[in-house]
Every structure is written in structure tokens, then in C-alpha cells.
Amino acid sequence: MPHLPSLTGRAAFSCSSHFRFHVWAFSLLLYCATVCPAAPPLTGAADPQLEVFDKLLTSFVGGHKIPGAALAVSYRGKLVYARGCGYADVAKREEVQPNSLFRSASLTKPITAVAVLKLMEQGKLKLEDPILNHLSDVVPGAQRKNHPWSKITIQHCLQHTAGWDSKAKFDPMFRSIMIADALKVPTPPTSLQIIRFMASKRPDFTPGERYAYSNFGYVVLGRVIEQASGQSYEEYVQEQIFKPLGIKSARLAKTRLKDRAPQEVRYYDGTKKARNVFSQNPADVTLMPYGTWSIEAMDSNGGWLLSAADLARFMCGLDLSSKQPLIQPETRQLLLRSRPSGPAGFEANGKPKSDFYGFGWRIQHGKTPDQAHYWHESSFDGISGLMIHRDDEVNWVILINTTELVKGKLPAEEIDQLLHDAMNSVKVWPEKDLFSTIDQLNP
């Protein structure tokens, strides 16, 4: 602790005394601001039973100088915890609220997968369908037989085994300028234009041969959903998934800061800048989260704007005990048993891998496949998130508005085990259900 000037003797109304007092007070304030920073604010209803989450959030956010975070926890279909911590906008001191909206990034993929499964239930597609059967806007029927994508199925896209490997070449969802130049169209290109660009190229490996995470594959699924449903991707998901669950605030995100939605947080990723894909001027640069790529083109792979409570509600819709199930019980069994064949699902010796990527989720079986853990992580510039279903009927979602690393990891990755430990420490869960409270915040 720095040396603080002491006040000795009787206080006197002299200039010297006043000066010494102000120096001492200033030193104390400086010490408190640097060595003992104030705990970040918490919003939402406090519950002594779940104080462990309050302590973890304030310690993690404050200790690692994270702008803000939102945590939602459900138990047996009830929202038992929903709080914001820190700031949605640091400069304006706007606090993160329980209903603050975040870019969901790859937490969109499980939503897109459920949309595909619902279309399967409705008889509008089959998982073994070639994707070209549902992409007539890209590849006309006469060209499908010998097309490079002719062997790629919907299931391949769901499981990241379609053959696109961003590590082998590039991720087209982050190459707006290159693709716009190649197509001779204004930047940024739309999702359909990106698909048309990629349709002239062969996959990086034989479909089904192995696993390679692919944002592009889920953008393709968005267009499959549109053709099979006869609706836009956004309309179908709103009508078939969000509306039945009572999720009212969900919307597709916009990239540029000027288009920030009401209740949406700001995103922080240091001071790094790059070419602005929304400008035709090559010299125009912008902060990484706000125009160095186009989230509008990523609707079905990373485009939803949601709160942590919204995502918890979505997860509850997949629970066995759900009062508003999103999919039929047999479809849920199919989802949890969706282990891919070959190296994507099995070790070289034929033993099943401990976890695998199924239909929109990474899955780890418990004693039985129906007792599985499943989860998904997410990150775009300025957003780090994680949502997890545990086999003890606990779901939780953490959303953080920065990608500044914590101990060399993304923030959501670093807090993962700490949150599991906190969940394990709760012996009795509250009986309340906060979903109605969140509804009142989103009229």
C-alpha cells in the first residue's frame, strides 16, 4: 500500500491544513481506484441461495477487467438465476441487464440445427438429402449430377463433415472483400453471393471423411431452410422456435455500431482495426467488431441477437421435462445419438470418441445417451459465450462482451470450470421461475 500522508495534531482552518487534507484524500482515492477497484455492478434479482454466482461474477469480471457479462441458469425448466454484471457500454456507464442483448455468434448453430430438425418432422426434408436438392437458386437441376457438391448431404453440414475446412484454405464468411472483388459486386457480399462463389470450388476433403468446423456449412443450411420452408430463415426461426417459447426480443444482428439495437451491449476487442467491408474505399478502417466482417451474411451460422435468458429458454425447450418441447421425443433421441461415422466420431481403434459434434451441439454421453451433456461455445471479435446442458437438468449460459484473453483463453472458456464448480456447490435449487420477470422487461 502506498504511503498516505497522515493528519496529526488539531485540525486548523489554515491553507496548509487544507492542502495536507486534500493531498491525503486524493492519495486515498487513487489507491482505491487502482489497488482496490470497486466491484462491478450487478443487476437483476439477488437470491441468497445462489450468492455463489454473484461472488463468481463480480470476482471474474472485476478481477480481469472485463467490460460486462450476463449469466442465466435454469433448473428443471425454470429460470432460477438471471443477472448482469459490469457494463454494456463502459464510456456511458450503461450496466449489463438480465435482458441485455448480445451477439450470439456460434450459439446460433444449435438454433439452426433445431430448425432443420423441425423441417424434417414436418416432412419437408430428409437429413440424407443432398444439399443441392434444396439450393436451386445456386445450382439448377441440370447441373447437379456432376457438381462438386453432389455428395454433400444436410447431415454432413449439421455435423461439420461436409468437406469445407477453413484451416486448409480460408473461411469465406470472413473474406468479404476477396469474394466481392471476384464476383464484381459491391462489398460486403450477401450469404447467397458467398455460396455462389464457393459453389465453383471443390470441397477440401471427401464429404463424411472427417470433422472440420465450418461456419460456411451452417450458412448453406440457412438457405436450405429457406427453400424447404418457403420462408426467410429469420421468419421460420421466429415462427417455429422463438414464438412458441415466448422469446420476444430475438432479432438478427447488424454489424455497424450505428445500427446497434436497443438493449444491445457494445463489444470490446482492444484497439485493433482493419479494412471496413462496408466501404468501397480501401483506406477506410474500423474497429474489429464493427465492420471488418459482415454479420448480416452470417444469419444462420452466427447472426442472432439474444439475451442469456433467451438462450436459457431455448435450451429448456430441448429438455425432457419441457412443458413446451421444441422437437418430438424421438427427434431429441436422434439428436443425442447423432454420432458421425468414421474419424469424426470414432478413434482409430474403433472406440467411440469421448465427445463428438452432432446436430448443432457438441455431445458427451453419460451412463446412457439420454443422459448426455451437450454444449456450444462462441466467439466473434468482441463476444465470447458458452451455453451448456448438464445431465443433472441444469442449463447455463454465459455471454461476455469482449474477446480480450484471460490467462491466454477466451473469457467464456476461462470461466467454464469455475461455473461448473459453482453449480456443483448448490445443494438446493430455488423453486421460483424468473422467466416471467424477464418477460416483463421485454413487453
**208-219, pLDDT tens digit by residue?**
999 999 999 999
Q: Looking at 24-33, 335-344, 413-422, which range is the least confident one?
A: 24-33
Determine the pLDDT at residue 9: 32
At position 176, the amino acid (one-letter code) is S
Query: What is the grid cell recorded at 442?
Result: 421485454
User: Do 402 and 267 form a contact (C-beta atoms < 8 A)?
Assistant: yes
Determine the pLDDT at residue 165: 97
Report the predicted TM-score, pTM, of the whole model to 2 decimal places. 0.91
Pick the closest to residue 334 from 127, 152, 93 (CA basis).
127
Please enumerate in sequence order all residues whose Cβ is within 8 A of that of 80, keeping only pairs 6 or more positions apart, or say none: 47, 50, 73, 74, 429, 430, 432, 433, 434
| pLDDT band, residue 154 (cuts 50/70/90) | very high
Count CB atoms within 10 A of the CB of residue 231. 15
Task: Report the chain's mean pLDDT, rounded to a whole number.
Answer: 91
Name the burial class of residue 376, with classes exposed (0-12), middle (13-18) and buried (19+) by CB atoms within 10 angstroms of its CB. Answer: buried
DSSP 280-294: S-TT-EEEGGGTSS-
Query: What is the grid cell recorded at 38?
Result: 470497486
Q: Using one digit for the tens of pLDDT, what is the confidence trace for 185-242?
A: 999 999 999 999 999 899 999 999 999 999 999 999 999 999 999 999 999 999 999 9
Determine the pLDDT at residue 368: 81
Alpha-carbon separation of residue 157 from 121, 161, 370 (angstroms)? 18, 6, 23
DSSP 79-120: EEEEEEEEEEETTTTEEP-TT-BEE-GGGHHHHHHHHHHHHH
Q: Is the pLDDT of residue 366 over 90?
A: no
User: Do 66 and 382 form a contact (C-beta atoms < 8 A)?
Assistant: no
Q: What is the mean pLDDT of residues 57-85?
A: 97
Determine the pLDDT at residue 68: 98
Q: What is the mean pLDDT of residues 93-121?
A: 98
Topology, domain 102-425 = Beta-lactamase (3.40.710)
Q: What is the mean pLDDT of residues 268-289?
A: 96
| Per-residue burial over 275-298, b = 16 or more CB atoms within 10 Å of its CB, e = otherwise | bbbbeeeeeeebbbbbbbbbbbbb
Instruction: Please report, rounded to a whole number, the percentage of residues in the chain having pLDDT higher than 90.
Output: 84
| pLDDT band, residue 14 (cuts 50/70/90) | very low
- Which residue has better confidence, 18 or 117? 117
User: Do 427 and 435 form a contact (C-beta atoms < 8 A)?
Assistant: no
- Which residue has better confidence, 7 or 140? 140
Q: Is the pLDDT of residue 352 over 80?
A: yes
Q: Is the pLDDT of residue 326 over 50?
A: yes
Instruction: Please report, rounded to a whole number, the percentage of residues in the chain having pLDDT higher than 70.
Output: 91
**In whole angstroms, what is the distance from residue 387 CA to residue 109 CA?**
12
- Which residue has better confidence, 176 or 27? 176
**In whole angstroms, what is the distance from residue 361 CA to residue 340 CA?**
12
Determine the pLDDT at residue 443: 60
| DSSP helix/strand/coil, 340 | coil
Which residues lie across from 42 on neighbouring strands? 85
User: Do 301 and 222 form a contact (C-beta atoms < 8 A)?
Assistant: yes
Please enumerate in sequence order all residues whose Cβ is within 8 A of that of 30, keeping only pairs 6 or more positions apart, or say none: 2
Determine the pLDDT at residue 37: 58
Q: Is the pLDDT of residue 388 over 60?
A: yes
